[in-house]
Every structure is written in structure tokens, then in C-alpha cells.
Amino acid sequence: MKDTSEQETQLWHRRFGHLNFKGLNTLAQKQMVIRLPSLKIYTIVCTTCLVGKQHHDVIPKLSSWCASTKLQLVHVDICGPISPASNTAKGTY
């Protein structure tokens, strides 16, 4: 198997849903993916992976307030332009 460039390594990383490089190389070594080359491990900073690892606040299991009449509390999905755009919209894939 031939070694790959940093750009090709990043492409395979994104194709497999941001799988870590050890996992990608395991797939290549065991020939579990057709035409997956042996990937060099670069010191790549994947911003998508970093965002996914950010801390999230805990969602409370019990509410401190409950509606007592109909329409006292209404949940609505209203959304306008979202900033920043998603990674797919930026054309990183």
C-alpha cells in the first residue's frame, strides 16, 4: 500500500464521518475497505472534530415550571438564516 498526502488523508477522514486515524489505518490494514490506502498520520487540526468535542450544558431531567392550561406554553420551530453555515454548505466535503 502506498502512503498518502495530507489532503488525501483529510478526505478519507471526512468520508468516514471524522473517524480517528488509528481507526482508518485499522480498516486499511485489515483490508476492510476496497481501495483505502495506508494513511500517514499528520498533525491535522480538524475544526469539525474540535467543535464536536466542545462541552454541552446538562439538560435538566425535571422542569421547574409546568403549564396549567392549554396554550400557556407553546413550542414552535421558527428559524431564520443560520450563522455560521454548516460544513456541508461551506463545501468541505
Give the pLDDT confidence of 17-74 residue by residue, as tens digits: 988 888 998 998 899 998 888 888 777 778 888 888 877 778 778 877 788 899 888 8
In a domain, 82, yes or no: no
Number of domains in the chain: 1
Q: Is the peptide bond prior to 60 cis by the omega test (within 30 degrees of 0)? A: no
In a domain, 19, yes or no: yes
Beta strand residue intervals within the chain, DSSP E: none
In a domain, 63, yes or no: no
What range does the domain containing 48 cover?
1-53
Alpha helices in the chain (DSSP H): 6-15, 21-29, 47-52, 87-90
- pTM of the predicted model, to two decimals? 0.52
Opening angle at CA 10, ends 36 and 91, nearest 5: 115
Can you give the pLDDT at residue 32?
92
pLDDT band of residue 87 (cuts 50, 70, 90) is low
